[in-house]
Structure 1
Amino acid sequence: MKLEMDEKLFHTMPDLKIGLIYYNKITVSESPQMLKGRLQLFQEQLFFDLEDKALTDFPGIREWRTAWKAFGADPSRYRPSVEALYRRIKKQNYIAPYHSAVDLNNFFSLQYQIPVGIYDRMKLVGDATLTLGDEETGYEGLNGRFNTLEHILTLRDEYSPFGSPFVDSIRTAVTEETTSALQVLFLRPSLDVEEASKLTDASANMFTSISGGDSTTHVLHALQRSVDIPD
């Protein structure tokens, strides 16, 4: 499959970039105690940080709120997923372990202050595009309701939309039966390509150290808008 960023996105945000990680031959299961402990400890430390800081003091959240506004969405109504996680932790409503893929996804999002999505590769149909949602774009989300994605960055394959930095679709969710997956890091636009590559590689290495398998990483940006992902 080919994954491509819509050229029009760069007219609004020239520095927009995403990290892509393709995982193959992975095992998704209950997270090891080490990951559960790190996720819990990180949230506890973040809770104390949030007592003294506003959400917009965190550069990743601030940048993604700016991106939301640039594309025409209201970040106070439809929040970037990373901000939603931070708001939960501020209320001491900590994220419970789910399985290794989701737990790592949440850990990366909290650590790097960015939205992160992970999708079952075998549930994707044909080529995929990152584009901007319109008034007809939406899907049943992991939050248990139908979500409209007008003015929000949207991943869509040849069947339907399936992901966004707002909330992901049920259709392509990773389960304990998943053996190949595509992870998308909605990177901070301020990162340069070298920093973005290092962050993407570090995420892939941590993921495979827990879930096994192998990984291939890419960073897409204005000068490299597409990449081929193995079938």
Structure 2
Amino acid sequence: MEAQLRGVEWLNSASVESSVFQLRPDYRAFLVLAEGLVPGESDAVSGQLLADAELKVANELDGRRPEELDELAAWREAYRAFGAKPQRTRSSVEALVRRVDGGLPRIDRITDTYNAISVAHLLPLGGEDVDKYVGPAQLVRATGEEEFETAAEGQPAVEHPKAGEVVWKDDVGVTCRRWNWRQSTRTHIGDRTVRALFILDGLLDVTSESDLIAAGEELQAALAGFSPEAQFSSRLLAP
């Protein structure tokens, strides 16, 4: 109970900077904290979730280019608003949708699960290892001085976001650049992850609050399928 309370308190300390809402007043974030997850390799269940998502988005596309979908086009506009070029740095959900024809990646059952929900609902969804965080999750406009731990040519590297870039961060550095483009190697989900934060990004132009929450609830149900003892907390961040 004490550990769960700490988890809820940590989740309640998450924030979105007012400058982000000024950029996109219709932005909403639905956060899901999962504790007591059972990590593991990709399996038949997570594979089926991905296969179902692949079929759903293929039907949605019906021969169209990914950027012609309203949900992906809206995120392209959100990226342009802070100076990013979406043709070069795509939202996480567009990057996944573009891989559907060749098959979505099978990584591990936690990652497979949230990727499947992301594609099925056409919204960006990322997962982070909570135990690797230092301080709360914060969505801000970067100063440009923050550190972002990543990999370059197979080696650890540190980058810095551009000033004004929308980034998720904690008290140590950036955990995800360009809203939902690329996650840090520092907080990525691995084979020892048992506590994870999932961030579902929504724009009200294309995704209602109720649809965003419904996707989060579907995520929790899918995670509980292989982690029956897991406990979940959630929170909607809005202006």
**TM-score of the superposition, structure 1-length normalised?**
0.84
Say if 1:29 and 1:100, in contact at 8 Å, map to a contact too: yes
User: Which of 201, 226, 230 is the matching residue for 2:217?
Assistant: 201
Deviation at 1:140, TM superposition (A): 3.4
Change (3 A) 1:148 1:166: farther
Deviation at 1:218, TM superposition (A): 1.2
Please say if 1:133 is aligned against 2:142: yes
Equivalent residues in 2 for 1:56-95, closer than 5 Å: 56-89=67-100, 92-95=101-104
Identity %: 22
Structure 1 segments unaligned to the other structure (5+ residues) = 223-231
Equivalent position amino acid for 2:202 in 1: L
Q: CA RMSD in A?
A: 2.3
Say if 2:148 and 2:184, in contact at 8 Å, map to a contact too: yes
Equivalent position amino acid for 2:199 in 1: V
Secondary structure of 1:17's aligned partner: strand
The residue number in structure 1 matching 2:133 is: 124
Please say if 1:39 is aligned against 2:54: no
The residue number in structure 1 matching 2:166 is: 153
The residue number in structure 1 matching 2:197 is: 182
Change (3 A) 1:138 1:53: farther
User: Which of 173, 183, 186 is the matching residue for 1:171?
Assistant: 186
Say if 1:185 and 1:200, in contact at 8 Å, map to a contact too: yes
The residue number in structure 2 matching 1:104 is: 113
Secondary structure of 2:175's aligned partner: strand
Secondary structure of 1:83's aligned partner: helix
The residue number in structure 1 matching 2:236 is: 219
Change (3 A) 1:47 1:194: closer
Equivalent position amino acid for 2:212 in 1: A
Secondary structure of 1:76's aligned partner: coil
The residue number in structure 1 matching 2:33 is: 22
The residue number in structure 2 matching 1:226 is: none
Equivalent position amino acid for 2:69 in 1: F
The residue number in structure 1 matching 2:7 is: none
Q: Which runs of 4+ in 1 moved over 4 A?
A: 47-51, 142-148
Change (3 A) 1:134 1:204: same
Aligned positions, number: 220
- Counterpart CA distance in 2 for 1:78 and 1:136 is 20
The residue number in structure 2 matching 1:227 is: none
Task: After superposing the two structures, state which structure 1 stretch, 146-155 or 14-23, moved more.
Answer: 146-155
The residue number in structure 2 matching 1:55 is: 66
**TM-score of the superposition, structure 2-length normalised?**
0.82
Deviation at 1:211, TM superposition (A): 2.9
Deviation at 1:215, TM superposition (A): 0.8
Equivalent position amino acid for 2:195 in 1: S
Equivalent position amino acid for 1:170 in 2: T
Structure 2 segments unaligned to the other structure (5+ residues) = 1-9
Change (3 A) 1:76 1:147: farther
